Amino acid sequence: MLGPDSLKSLVANHKNTLKLLLSVESLLKARFIGMDVHVRALILAVACGEPLLLVGPPGTAKSRLIRAFCGAIGVLDENDAASRHDSYFEYLLTPFTEPGELFGHYDIAALHERRGMIRLEEGMMQNAKVVFLDEIFNASSAILNSILSFMNERVFHDRGSVRPVAMHCMFAATNDVPRGGELRAIYDRFVIRSWVENVRDTPEEIGDLIQRGWLETYGTHQTPNLTSLLDKLADLRREIRGLTRADTIKRDNQTLLGNLSHLVKTARQYNASAVSNRRLVKFSYMMTMHRLLRAVEEGAETDKPLTIGRPELALFWKHLLDSVDPMVIQKMEKLPYPVE
């Protein structure tokens, strides 16, 4: 994690970009009922460049939320389902999905003409800035191995060659999480997870759902041109990488480290998550990015020290666990050290 000085510098240098991202968040929150937590998870994933996994039963607007975000930044036309945009790739995975469906099939004519194996990859996953894979855990092992390289190294392995991919952010959705085997490896890579549920059976929530859901289902939506937002966020992440050696948080921050230790210990004790080393390091990055968003959201002055506080620690029990258990979350909310 970065220290207060670097956090202040980042807010000052990228305030307009963060404000633009927060404006997209406000737009999405206004469109979806009871999904503020999931919208913030999506915004945080886009800011961090980390993959987001939405978990929940069918009909809870998981796919709709992702498409609404893509429409809001201009990489998808929500009003024309048949339209294609090279910056966006979406696919529903099944056990029978073949690699060519994601990465492009080979040109049969070129093979007949002995011009070699040429992949028809226009509009395919490796060329998209935003990738959405629905029912991701239905995929075969061959597909999952390719996806892992996308998520980890942001590269595409193609018959011995390795190429960087255009992807800025990846979204995935599932009705259920894997319980074991090779699927756990890819599940662990989804650092940010959000558990979506149906609305509660109260007149107020059902009324709000019907009102907003009607507009979502039968209305039309404007598609602004905010595709540059993804590139601006990439600039922010590059600056963070440049600052990492110069100003990192000190190990003597016992309040923060004590709270993190409490959260990890509770998660492991109740089998809510093993909290792998990889996920813990990436969680520190999530907290850093969330603090930047919160500083801009609250209008904090850049001369005021910015420190990681309870809103950042709360991301642990909201988006880092393998499953949702109210009892475990209740124990985590009782942090043992004072926080901001």
pLDDT digits over 195-240, tens only? 999 999 999 999 999 998 888 888 888 767 787 899 999 999 999 9
Residues 185 and 119 in one domain: yes
Q: pLDDT at position 160, please?
A: 75
Predicted confidence (pLDDT) per residue in 12-29, tens digit: 999 999 999 999 999 999
Same domain membership, residue 212 and residue 66: yes
Residues 182 and 316 in one domain: no
Q: Is residue 315 part of a domain?
A: yes
User: With 90 as the cut, is the pLDDT of residue 143 above it?
Assistant: no
Q: Map residue 257 onto helix, strand or coil.
A: helix
Is there a domain that residue 4 lies in? Answer: no
Task: Using DSSP bridges, classify how beta strands 161-164 and 155-158 pair: parallel, antiparallel or unpaired.
Answer: antiparallel
The answer, yes or no, to whether residue 117 has pLDDT greater than 80, is: no
The arithmetic mean of pLDDT across residues 233-256, rounded, is: 77
First-last CA distance in the chain: 16
Q: Which residues contact 9 (CB under 8 A, 6 or more apart)?
A: 243
CATH number reported for the structural domain that contains residue 67 in this entry: 3.40.50.300
pLDDT of residue 323: 86
Structure-token match 């992702």, residue found: 66
Taking a C-beta distance cutoff of 8 angstroms, is the pair 285, 48 a contact?
yes
Same domain, 208 and 264: no
* pTM of the complete model beyond 0.85: yes
Residue 11 forms part of a structural domain: no
Q: Could you tell me which of 105, 73, 76, 78 has the C-alpha nearest to residue 88?
A: 76
- Mean pLDDT, rounded, for 142-151: 84
Last residue of a domain, one of 227, 254, 281: 227
Same domain flag for 198 and 237 = no
Do 66 and 203 fall within a single domain?
A: yes
Domain membership of residue 168 (yes or no) is yes
Regarding whether 47 and 170 lie in a shared domain, the answer is: yes
The total of structural domains in the chain comes to 2
The reply to whether 63 and 110 lie within a common domain is: yes
Question: Quick check: is 33 in a domain?
Answer: yes
pLDDT tens sequence across 268-318: 999 999 999 999 999 999 999 999 999 999 886 656 678 889 999 999 999
pLDDT tens figures, 49-83? 999 999 999 999 999 999 999 999 988 888 887 77
Give pLDDT tens digits for 156-205.
888 778 889 999 999 999 998 887 677 888 888 899 999 999 999 999 99
Residues 182 and 327 reside in one and the same domain: no
DSSP-H helix ranges across 199-325: 203-218, 228-243, 254-269, 277-298, 310-319
CB neighbour list of residue 228: distance below 8 Å, 6 or more residues apart:
none
Kindly state whether residues 155 and 289 are assigned to the same domain: no
Q: Are residues 99 and 41 in the same domain?
A: yes
Query: What is the C-alpha separation between 53 and 136, in angstroms, rounded?
Result: 9
> For the chain, give me the number of helices (H) and strands (E)?
13, 7
In a domain, 221, yes or no: yes
Task: Give the integer Cα–Cα distance in Å for 200 and 220.
Answer: 27
Q: Domain end: 188, 212, 227, which one?
A: 227
73 in a domain, yes or no? Answer: yes
On whether residue 6 sits in a domain, the answer given is: no
What pLDDT is attached to residue 340? Answer: 67
Final residue of a structural domain among 227, 259, 274? 227
146 & 292 share domain = no
Domain assignment of residue 136, given as a range = 16-227
